Amino acid sequence: MKINSLALILLLSSIPCFAQCKSELEPYASGFDTIKEDSFSFLDTILNDIRVVGYGEDTHGTAEFTLLAKELMEYLSEKYHFKILIIETGFGEGQYLDDYIQGKRDDLKTILEDHNSTWRYKTKEFYQLMNWLKAYNNNTADKIHLYGCEMQYVISDVHKIREYLEKVNADYQIDGFEKHLWQSMEESEKVDYYISYAKLKKYFIDNHELFKRKTSEEEFSLAYHHIVVLGQFVTAINQHAEQRKHDFRDIYMAENIQWILNFHGNTSKALYWAHNAHVGDWVDNGIIDVTGHQLRKMYGDSYFNIATDFGTGEFLAFSQDWKMETFGYDSVLEDTFTECLRKYGSPNTFLNLRKAREHNELTGYLNSAFTTMSGAGAQVRNQPTETKEIGKAFDGIIYLDKTSKINWAE
């Protein structure tokens, strides 16, 4: 694959006119050497009353961000009894992954090929995460569960509903839902999807007591939530403005996270792992009331969200013409907040922004926009930096000095 150097663009990028670094912020920074569970002692005193930890990754195509998710989940499980991992994938897709880590299936490759719509999980790093979760659950009765929170692709939800119907000896047939949120659809298709959803929902409601006796209230609730996700999908596809689809996507991600926590009870705790854009407590791009902002409204200060940033290294992403390529940075641009984070750590940094906001002299500074190195979501960005209110939107940020691109499992 071609490596696109961004060094020239870095030199041409605009430099903000205000100071990005402030010496008063440095006492709130902690350096750490490696991405390991025992490196996260900087979190030891700040997560006691936290229900949801939001972990944002700056790029989807970076190996270290998946490795960090694994080590962070291990830390949270052992130190704070977090037993739920929620990832940026379909709710139904997440159920197949959970089947694997619960020991119900052994065919991870097949699951990722047949029930997974997300390219970035078909990696050696994600296999490592999944196999650790499986081994962990095999050695304890207090198991970790994995969920997806998305509703962009719902055919896996249909498969899970069919499995449940077979279990209760029902011959009900479900039609449609082969397409995903971003595909073109005729109005007649949208109507057919709605009718299929509405009939299925009524069928489950009418047979609630019978199905519950044949399985359990818990199994029925889980199967029924797959139908709820179909309803979310039906609502989103009927938005004629593309932007509204993005809005509903984030709103429903938050609602699914809330349902998952309620499903597991009042003492349940979850690590929510998605892109920085979804985890932040902000209205991203001035338009979308994103998942992290919804979670802040739902859980208040018991939602603790951590952004990530990185200095140098490579990552995989789609180019502007949607070709998968390797991109990278050779150096950190001076006069950026990323450069501040690099100087605070040795070599990596955690910065406790929530604690720093208690310092009155830092309030205005932390509410201002910071310029950081910028990678990609699925698609690489046009510029190597972005300027956003990170200090206001996140409770902490992890800076990794050197990163590498994801490694395909095949």
Is residue 11 predicted with pLDDT exceeding 70? Answer: no
The band of 17, judged by pLDDT with boundaries at 50, 70 and 90, is very low
- Return the pLDDT at 286: 63
DSSP reduced 3-state for 75: helix
- Return the pLDDT at 292: 97
- Return the pLDDT at 20: 86
Tell me the per-residue pLDDT of 305-363, one tens digit each, with 9 for 90 and over. Answer: 999 999 999 999 999 999 999 999 999 999 999 999 999 988 999 999 999 999 998 99
Least confident piece of the model among 7-16, 130-139, 395-404? 7-16
pTM to 2 decimals?
Answer: 0.94
Q: Is there a contact between 380 and 96 (Cβ–Cβ < 8 Å)?
A: no
The DSSP code for 405 is B
**How far is Cα 303 from Cα 299, in angstroms, rounded to an integer?**
6
One-letter identity of residue 253 = M
Write down the mean pLDDT value for the chain: 93
Cis, bond preceding 27 (omega within 30 deg of 0): no
Tell me the per-residue pLDDT of 98-148, one tens digit each, with 9 for 90 and over. Answer: 999 999 999 999 999 999 999 999 999 999 999 999 999 999 999 999 999
DSSP reduced 3-state for 270: strand
Q: Which whole number is the average pLDDT over 396-402?
A: 97
Strand partners, 313: 329, 403
Q: Which whole number is the average pLDDT over 265-290?
A: 90
Q: Which residue has the higher pLDDT, 382 or 399?
A: 399
